Chain A
């Protein structure tokens, strides 16, 4: 089975990563911040990228 086929597998991973990111920046600077940027960056990119593609006519 394709890993994109499982409805909730990827959303769960992304959601958890985002939660880790939100809390890690509260704990410290440096690597903690970088983890936060990764955690919030993944949803930001995944949400923006399909908007930028033009629909095929």
Chain B
């Protein structure tokens, strides 16, 4: 490589990393507790614990659960019911002042599907973990915050790629994983920066890119509403507003009959951003490992309970769904979480050592310059 080419790549690497480093440090630090958020919720006593009951206690009808949710939050309406694999007797309910209320103003709790009893889920509504999550997701700045972080993620990706290009001129005379421990601090940290950077490369790139995709979730969901949903609810364009709904009781059976072999992940009630003004939309997922992340929405007319459409999944919604596990590392058991945390800490070390190396070079440059000035 020509020295001029090296200098150019080095400038790209320096500036893309410098701009994104502070944000990346914040993301890596807040991401660390989020890897263990399930465990932390249990530790803080914030995870809902259902009462022990006979194992075959029957579940209430869904309409009764809707009413229980509305009794628990007077004046609010149900936006979503969600299902969790490890809590078959619970239903996660999300309510808000209106169906269209934005997610940050909603309230989340769990309903015991057998009794209709409401259990608080403090971690979903506030508290330290929610604070960390909001900081990580949008820095409390809504869509602009998400898009800024998405841009920082892109700079991070460019910094990684330019780092790989620079790896070869720096490592030409060294063996793989050789760290010049006996040389200056700067040489030692340069070698560590290069080594840790190159071995964590794939992980950092995947977590970075999936983070960018997740940060664009709001845009992807509105694109999906524009593209797919608008076409599917076209016959309802001039329909009068929904005044009476059929009870929701059978929608899960109706959706299962429409898509045999799949399971319900969540129900979006009429008027929410995952449904239309006239439909209950049941989001079904597959039963295999891979397809358990991929949603297929079934639109059910909220007055007649007829299935009016089974939406095709556009590729970008699949990309969004697959980005979640790959970003959070919560899909391969406890060892995976621990490795995720180790790699996260290693990334913090790469970012920190990068800053240190830049600062040392900067200071040395200053000294050289002032030396030349003194000579002149």
Chain A residues at the B interface, C-beta cutoff of 8 Å? 2, 4-11, 14-16, 18-19, 22, 25-29, 32-33, 36-37, 40-44, 46-48, 50-51, 53-56
Contacts and interface: CB of A to CB of B under 8 A. Distances in A.
Contacts of B178: 4
6 contacts: A14-B198, A37-B332, A40-B343, A46-B177, A50-B179, A55-B181
Given A7-B167, A18-B202, A26-B289, A50 B339 contact: no
Nearest to B346: A47
B195 A44 contact: no
B325 interface: yes
Interface string B309-343: 00000000000001001100001110110011011
Nearest to A8: B168
A47 B176 contact: no
A54 B192 CA distance: 12
B70 to A, nearest CB: 38
Contact of A22 (B198, B326, B335): B326
A4 B335 CA distance: 29
Contact of B289 (A18, A28, A43, A46): A28
B326 A27 contact: no
B83 interface: no
A47 B195 contact: yes
A7 B168 contact: yes
Interface of B: 167-168, 171-172, 175-179, 181-182, 185, 188, 192, 195-196, 198-203, 206, 289-290, 293, 322, 325-326, 331-333, 335-336, 339-340, 342-343, 346, 349
Which of A22, A48, A51, A53 has the largest number of chain B CB atoms within 10 A?
A: A22
Which of B171, B185, B195, B202 has the largest number of chain A CB atoms within 10 A?
A: B202
A7 B171 contact: yes
A53 B192 CA distance: 11
Given A11-B167, A18-B202, A50 B195 contact: yes
Contacts of A19: 202, 206
A40 B73 CA distance: 45
Contacts of A28: 289
Given A11-B167, A26-B325, 7 more contacts: A8-B168, A11-B201, A18-B203, A37-B335, A44-B343, A47-B342, A48-B346
A17 to B, nearest CB: 8
Nearest to B188: A55
A33 B338 CA distance: 13
B196 A47 contact: yes
Contacts of A7: 167-168, 171-172, 176
A27 B339 contact: no
A28 B175 CA distance: 37
B188 A43 contact: no
A37 to B, nearest CB: 5
A11 B199 contact: yes
A48 B201 CA distance: 14
B343 A36 contact: no
Contacts of B203: 18, 22, 40, 43
B336 A33 contact: yes
A47 B331 contact: no
Contacts of B326: 22, 26
B175 A4 contact: yes
Given A11-B176, A46-B199, A48-B346, A41 B339 contact: yes
A27 B289 contact: yes
A4 B178 CA distance: 9
Nearest to A37: B335
